[in-house]
Amino acid sequence: MTDPSPELTKARSLREEFDRSFAAAVTVRKEETLSNFLKITSADFTLAVPVECISGLVPGRKVIPLPGAFPGLLGVAGYRTSIVPVVALRSFFGFPPGDATRWFFLVRQADPLAIAFDAFRGHLRVPVENVSPARLQPASGSSRDISNRTLRHQNELIPVLDVLALSQEISRRARSFAAPAEK
């Protein structure tokens, strides 16, 4: 038997390497899953608001006060073609509403609702691994937590606002405030 030519040996080697590449385990680079948040401050508290829970971010609008409104309700504001109730987030920390109408975000829900806060600090994109369960208690007189998670961003721990719980607490406050007047 004669030895195969160097070209034939090289071709066979390339074919075997090609075949082995299909038999090898595929290594897939795991893409990082990111969550989006707005970083805001209210009454000296820094909070993160999940972007999927809001339908808009609005710089200061004129808010028309309502007589006899429940504590924390600043009044109403016009936004596009709607009249939206505006509630001061700082009231959930036991602070007076103050001049909290510099910014507000619109809650993504059927009933219009705007939450006023003091300052917009930016947009955060963090890996989901950097968001963990935690609690931030609201001020006394409030029965619900308004934070259900904490995120880590650049060595800072930021409570994540539970927008659904906040909206439910606002509804509870509004009903309990209106109930005595209806009797």
**Does residue 79 form part of some domain?**
yes
Which CATH number is 162's domain given? 2.40.50.180
Q: What tokens appear for 12 in the block?
A: 């066979």
**Does residue 29 form part of some domain?**
no
Give every CB contact of residue 56 below 8 A, 6+ residues apart in sequence: 79, 105, 106
Taking residues 13-23, report their average pLDDT: 71
Note the pLDDT tens digit of each residue in 97-138. Answer: 766 568 999 999 999 999 999 999 999 999 999 999 866 554
Percent of the chain with pLDDT over 70: 80
**Does residue 23 form part of some domain?**
no
**Does residue 171 form part of some domain?**
yes
pTM (2 d.p.): 0.74
Note the pLDDT tens digit of each residue in 54-97. Answer: 999 999 889 999 888 888 899 999 988 889 999 999 888 888 77
Domain count, the chain: 1
Give the closest residue to 120 by CA, choosing from 54, 31, 32, 24.
Answer: 54
DSSP-assigned beta bridge partners for residue 35: 126
For residue 143, what pLDDT is reported? 38
For residue 142, what pLDDT is reported? 45
Owning domain of residue 51? 34-182
**Does residue 112 form part of some domain?**
yes
**Does residue 24 form part of some domain?**
no
